[in-house]
Amino acid sequence: MALITPINTSLCLEQLCASNFQKLLQLIPDLAAIKNAAVGVAPRHANLHLTVIDHSPYTLTVELNHCFSQHLDGLLAPALRIRIYMDAQLAEVLSDNDRASVARTFPDARQSREIMHYKWRLNYFLQKWLDHCLGKNYRFTS
């Protein structure tokens, strides 16, 4: 994961989540309409799989990953769990296949600095991954 840590993590994290929201919509234009799952394809690249975990009026929780096998039981990575706030236009990574959720990693809420840095790293990774996927011209169908 990235070792870049901004000086004002809180402000930068909000901007990062806003940027990730916009990039997700670029990558998956019909994101809000997907009910269960969708697959993104790009020539000569592993498929991207989007699974809807929870859908409410203002939020959407999804898992996004590459499938590195022809079979769905193959390696799915990085398995990012993302909460998308449709009203606030933010996308926040909750966890990935290597890292647990913030609440499990930092049960003591007084560790605010560590929590912010942890969230920053997760969301910075999402930004770079979305840039990669957009650069490879993935197209989604539901």
Owning domain of residue 77:
18-137
| DSSP-derived 3-state class of residue 16 | helix
Please list, in sequence order, all residues whose beta carbon lies within 8 angstroms of the beta carbon of residue 36, skipping any fewer than 6 positions away.
51, 52
- Flag whether 9 is in a domain: no
- Flag whether 63 is in a domain: yes
- Flag whether 1 is in a domain: no
pLDDT given for residue 49 in this prediction: 92
pLDDT given for residue 11 in this prediction: 73
- Flag whether 13 is in a domain: no
Q: Check: CB of residue 96 under 8 Å from CB of residue 79.
A: yes
pLDDT given for residue 76 in this prediction: 58
- Flag whether 72 is in a domain: yes
> Taking the model in full, what pTM does it have?
0.83
- Flag whether 25 is in a domain: yes
Split into its structural domains, the chain has a count of: 1
pLDDT given for residue 69 in this prediction: 63
Please list the pLDDT of the chain residue by residue as tens digits (142 residues).
Answer: 445 666 666 678 899 999 999 999 999 999 999 999 999 999 989 899 999 999 999 999 999 998 766 655 555 557 899 999 999 999 999 987 666 666 666 666 666 777 778 888 899 999 999 999 999 999 997 5
pLDDT given for residue 4 in this prediction: 62
- Flag whether 51 is in a domain: yes
Residue that the structure tokens 């991954």 belong to: 129
The angle subtended at Cα 113 by Cα 112 and Cα 114, nearest 5°, is: 95
Q: b/e map of 6-40 (b: 16 or more CB within 10 Å)?
A: eeebeebbeebbebbbebbeebbeebeebeeebeb
- Flag whether 59 is in a domain: yes
